[in-house]
Structure 1
Amino acid sequence: MRPSVFRASLTQRLLPTAIIALGLLQPALADELKLQENAPDRYIVVKGDTLWDISGKFLKDPWKWPQIWNMNKEEIKNPHWIYPGDVIVLDTSGGSPRLRLLGNDKNDALRGNAKLNPRVRVTQFDAQAAPAIPAKAIEPFMAKPLVVDEAEFRAAPRIAQAPTEHLTITTGDKAYAVGVGGGQSGDQWQVYHGGKELRDPDTKEVLGYEVTYVGDAITKATGEVSTLQLSKAVQEVTVGDRLVPRPRKEYNNYVPHTPEANIQGKVLSTYGGVNDAGPYTTVVVNRGQRDGLELGHVLFIYKAPRHIRAENSKEESLMTPPEKIGNLFIYRVFPKLAYGLVLDSTVPVNLLDQVRKPGL
């Protein structure tokens, strides 16, 4: 029977001639690899698979994907795509488990030179390849940020006047904006309403603003006061709403990996119209780029400590111990905040639940 636990070795290198390795031979991330009890010897990738799903078929800890592939830091940020039809082989012949990719002429052509040249940087996700996490779960938050950095929000252009004395604007209406700056006719904008402050629950620092997407607009003429036309309105647009340049549709497919910094934070907001966030729900955490958080980082989620009900006033005040309830995949990072997708949670995730680097 194959042992389920192997210690990573920096000296063992597996180079089967008939197999194409996805990772360059760099030192593996420290920590042991625990295989699933029923880990297959090989797996054929099917449409709809994610890197997280595939990793979970082999590993008890799916975030250790880079370790079992023996990937370096650049490959984590710029992975070699895995496509439906690829055959992934679990190789334990050297004592350390490694995943290898069998040659596939069709899919090798799709991968092009990326597997041969580590300097190649792919910034646009190939829609045919297996994504890190379910793309449909995060698409609304990639195209329409509902959290805006404080400085960005304060400096954003704003709608300053409606076409009539009415304050509301709808699809097809003109609007007048200030702060557009050196743009040009044809520039596309997203329009956001509100600006609820998101404060750090401990330091009370304003980390950003939570906004509501209300529509799209196009610049028709520029100047100190620019003329826009509202091309789409999903809600009423009003004077004072902010403008954010429409982002390019881009998805960087970073693979799951753990932060180097000892990151600890809390859940500030949940989306999807729910108070109890379950699997594939987006949450906002009070940590961002300045804290060392980056795309693809995996954090553990812990239920926030709760007071133990005392029977009388003489009893000591006690709290429930930390309890891990799920994993969080960070997929969009702002200076002080980040979006994370809840994965395989055992109980609902709520505001002020804790997130931290695995192992802390």
Structure 2
Amino acid sequence: MKLISTVASRAPVLPLGLLVLALSNASPAYAQSAASRPVLPQQRATAQQVAAQGVPLSALAPNAPEEHTVRRGDTLWRIAGVFLQSPWRWPELWGMNLQDIRNPHLIYPGQQLYLERVGDRAYLRARRSGEGQVGQTVRVSPRNRVEVLGTGPLPTLEPHLIEPFLAEPLVVDDDTFQRAPRIVALANQSRVLVAKGDRAYVRGPADAPLLKAPGLPTDFRVFRTATALKDPVSGEILGYEGQYVGQAALVRGESEVDDIVPSAWRIGSSSTPRPTPVPATIDVVSSKEEMKAGDRLLPEPPREYRNYVPHAPDLPIDARVVSVHGNAVRFVGQNQIVVINKGLRDGVESGHVLAVMSTGPQLVDKTDKSRPVMRLPDERNGLAMVFRPFERVSYALVMQITNPVQVGDKMMNPTTLP
């Protein structure tokens, strides 16, 4: 901890941006890349409109405070939820403070936010009304505050919740997985499992051997037998989710040698050498679980710095929960991961916020003598945000929830609900 002396100034505080989910696989690069991240035209248009009008008081959270100091450990989603009923409506929150904002991707601990109510409208400022206006005398005096140095811009949610799912999940069709190179043997023949620092041997399909050459991948992720992701409505297989077990580096590619196969060792047989395959060599770079023969390799994807902007979908989305993550987990709560049966081909994209719906239970109408069976209406249960879409499925984080989520529950546009 260090004691910092500051002086009140007529200038606004550091650039304030509210509710852009900016989270990368390598957080140290976040601050550098955030400064150059563009603001989408639609976001800016919304912000400019709201900046001129403010937002209606009805859009504020019931207990919205008059001021809020950003603290270390805060998240942008949580801060937006402090002021607005719908945390994903970040352009409105940004627009309320448009004059003070230069980069909406950055917000730091120590910044102070002030809520102003004028008539039936509300505005959010990074300084109190009247501070720093031309022609006004501003009285300055020294003041002290204690702050931890070295804090970077805030993410929208706790990074550890989704970081593993940015790198580990893999959803492919069955043919892609079956044709992926496979571990066939271990360098240490006395063992059946390998871990970080160990060596193993790999073969690809006959028509696509694993080779090491310029332009070909040398870094791979290792996956175990894929699990089918089945649509709970149609029963269709939407893809196969591979179980991530680690990473490996290609040392040598596959080759062939002229060798005498064992069958030629028999008495009276020909001893003419035959081409014999030599598998590729890999070294295990990291391991979440120990690897074994039969595990599959797929190329390491290019490094990405994902920028998530929470927003409601423009197209109608009617999704179902395909699976929930966790060993022997049937129900999911807040800050847990689910897979839904909609993906890129359905218009789903990173940052889409969906309302979670609890399926209405079937009950017997005891007020009717014939005792008919009825089903109660589906009810809104919470919110989830898509953070990694694939072609036919997507991973979503449960942001808010009232009752546990389970396979088959619906997810739909949050703005179309009563």
Q: Specify the TM-score bucket, using the shorter chain as the normaliser.
A: 0.7 to 0.9
> What residue in structure 1 maps to residue 136 of structure 2?
none
Structure 2 counterpart of 1:27, which letter?
T
Counterpart of 1:170 (choices 194, 200, 212) is 194
Q: Deviations over 1:35-85 (max 9, x none)?
A: 1233123222111111110011101221222223239xxxxxx94211111
TM-score w.r.t. length of structure 1: 0.75
Quote the Cα distance in structure 1 between the aligned partners of 2:362 and 2:286. 48
Quote the Cα distance in structure 2 between the aligned partners of 1:102 and 1:221. 61
Query: Secondary structure, in 3 states, of the residue corresponding to 1:196?
Result: strand
Select between 151-160 and 136-145 the one with higher mean Cα deviation. 151-160
> What residue in structure 1 maps to residue 321 of structure 2?
267
Number of residue pairs the alignment of both structures matches: 316
Structure 2 counterpart of 1:85, which letter?
G
Deviation of the 1:167 alpha carbon: 9.4
1:129 paired with 2:185, answer no
RMSD across aligned positions (CA): 3.5
Counterpart of 1:39 (choices 61, 64, 68) is 64
Deviation of the 1:229 alpha carbon: 2.1
CA contact (8 A) 1:175 1:230 kept: no
Q: How does 1:336-351 map to 2 (within 5 A)?
A: 336-351=392-407
Distance 1:251 1:127, change over 3 A: farther
> What residue in structure 2 maps to residue 296 of structure 1?
351
> What residue in structure 1 maps to residue 22 of structure 2?
none
Query: Secondary structure, in 3 states, of the residue corresponding to 2:89?
Result: helix
> What residue in structure 2 maps to residue 207 of structure 1?
238
> What residue in structure 2 maps to residue 228 of structure 1?
282
Deviation of the 1:156 alpha carbon: 6.0
Select between 18-27 and 85-94 the one with higher mean Cα deviation. 18-27
Counterpart of 1:90 (choices 72, 90, 115) is 115
Quote the Cα distance in structure 1 between the aligned partners of 2:326 and 2:312. 26
Counterpart of 1:193 (choices 221, 224, 233) is 224
Distance 1:160 1:166, change over 3 A: farther
Quote the Cα distance in structure 2 between the aligned partners of 1:358 and 1:51. 19
Q: How does 1:1-360 map to 2 (within 5 A)?
A: 22=17, 26-27=45-46, 34-70=59-95, 79-93=104-118, 96-102=121-127, 128-145=152-169, 147-150=170-173, 153-154=176-177, 157-163=180-186, 168-171=192-195, 172-178=198-204, 179=208, 180=210, 187-223=218-254, 225-247=279-301, 250-273=304-327, 274-309=329-364, 314-360=370-416
Deviation of the 1:348 alpha carbon: 0.9
Quote the Cα distance in structure 1 between the aligned partners of 2:168 and 2:243. 9
Quote the Cα distance in structure 1 between the aligned partners of 2:151 and 2:219. 24
Q: Deviations over 1:273-293 (max 9, x none)?
A: 322111111111111111111
CA contact (8 A) 1:66 1:255 kept: no
Distance 1:336 1:342, change over 3 A: same
> What residue in structure 1 maps to residue 23 of structure 2?
none
Query: Secondary structure, in 3 states, of the residue corresponding to 1:62?
Result: coil
Quote the Cα distance in structure 2 between the aligned partners of 1:339 and 1:150. 17
Quote the Cα distance in structure 2 between the aligned partners of 1:197 and 1:134. 29
Q: Which has the larger radius of gyration?
A: 2
Distance 1:188 1:65, change over 3 A: same
Return 5+ residue gaps in structure 1 as ranges: 1-16, 72-77, 104-125
Select between 251-260 and 167-176 the one with higher mean Cα deviation. 167-176
Return 5+ residue gaps in structure 2 as ranges: 1-10, 18-38, 97-102, 129-149, 256-278
Distance 1:325 1:92, change over 3 A: same
Quote the Cα distance in structure 1 between the aligned partners of 2:70 and 2:213. 46
Query: Secondary structure, in 3 states, of the residue corresponding to 2:401?
Result: coil
CA contact (8 A) 2:186 2:192 kept: no
Deviation of the 1:353 alpha carbon: 0.9
Structure 1 counterpart of 2:349, which letter?
E
Quote the Cα distance in structure 2 between the aligned partners of 1:305 and 1:177. 51
> What residue in structure 2 maps to residue 75 of structure 1?
none
Structure 2 counterpart of 1:308, which letter?
L
> What residue in structure 2 maps to residue 109 of structure 1?
none
